[in-house]
Structure 1
Amino acid sequence: METSQLTATFAALAQDTRLEVFRLLVRHEPQGLAAGEIARQLAVPHNTMSAHLAVLTRAQLAVSRRQGRSIIYRANLDHMEKTLQFLVRDCCAGHPEVCEPLMNTLAGCAPSEENRQR
């Protein structure tokens, strides 16, 4: 990942509403949410929400698809994974035990083996 893309990612998340939108989309993976529903849940006017969603999409944090008359947004977890990998790539200067608490925190998000087989 290039530094400029990482900067765009953090710039997009450096605003309260966009950060909440991204977190909401993560909670609704993999089905996503319609733009209107995102606006309703966060009590943000539709036109303002459209601008926020455009910023998140340009930063590759969200992806969209049309479903009938609605646009469904999803979190781009692949991009978030690459962002996190970039941040911890040089973690701990060759001492992985120092990063173990961080890795354990992230591992808590992974699906269990049972859920992966479903």
Structure 2
Amino acid sequence: MNEAQALAAFAALSQETRLRVVRLLVRAGPDGMAAGAIGEALGGATTSRLSFHLTHLEHAGLIRSRREGRFIIYSAVYPALAGLVGFLLKNCCQGHPEICAPALAALTCACDSDLTESV
């Protein structure tokens, strides 16, 4: 991930609804979720408001959409999210791996705790 891509991703994630959508889609797994289900999970977001946020996230490369019959299914782009984390941590240890150890440890246990928090 280059700096321009990271900036676009951070800009997309800097809004509460979009951050919640990405976290929701990460939890949903590779199968993703229908737009309507995303709206319901976010407390009944209006279609136009949700569409705006989903489009913003898709343009940033953090989510993707696909059509399944009448539904549009959105899913997280895990390589892009991993690239964003990698961008942040690249060269962080400057030859001293103990500097990055806490951040890496937090990533290894994220599946157990952080992702089970409510949206």
TM-score (norm 2): 0.88
Look up the match of 1:36.
Answer: 36
Equivalence for 2:99: 98
**Deviation by residue 1:31-68 (Cα, 9 ceiling, x = unmatched):** 11001110111021011101100000000000111000
Q: Does residue 1:80 correspond to 2:81, yes or no? A: yes
SS at match of 1:91: coil
**Which amino acid in 1 is paired with 2:53?**
H
Aligned to 2:53: 52
Deviation for aligned residue 1:110:
6.5
Residues 5-28 of structure 1: CA deviation (Å, up to 9, x unaligned): 110000000101000001100110
Q: What is the deviation of 1:108?
A: 1.8
Structure number with higher relative contact order (C-alpha < 8 Å, ≥ 6 residues apart): 2
**SS of structure 1 residue aligned to 2:74:** strand
Q: Which runs of 5+ in 2 are unaligned?
A: 113-119
Unaligned runs of 5+ residues in structure 1 are 112-118
Task: Give the counterpart letter for 2:30 in structure 1.
Answer: P
Q: Which residue of 1 aligns with 2:66?
A: 65
Query: Whose helix proportion is higher, 1 or 2?
Result: 1
Asked if the contact 2:2/2:87 (under 8 Å) is kept, the reply is no
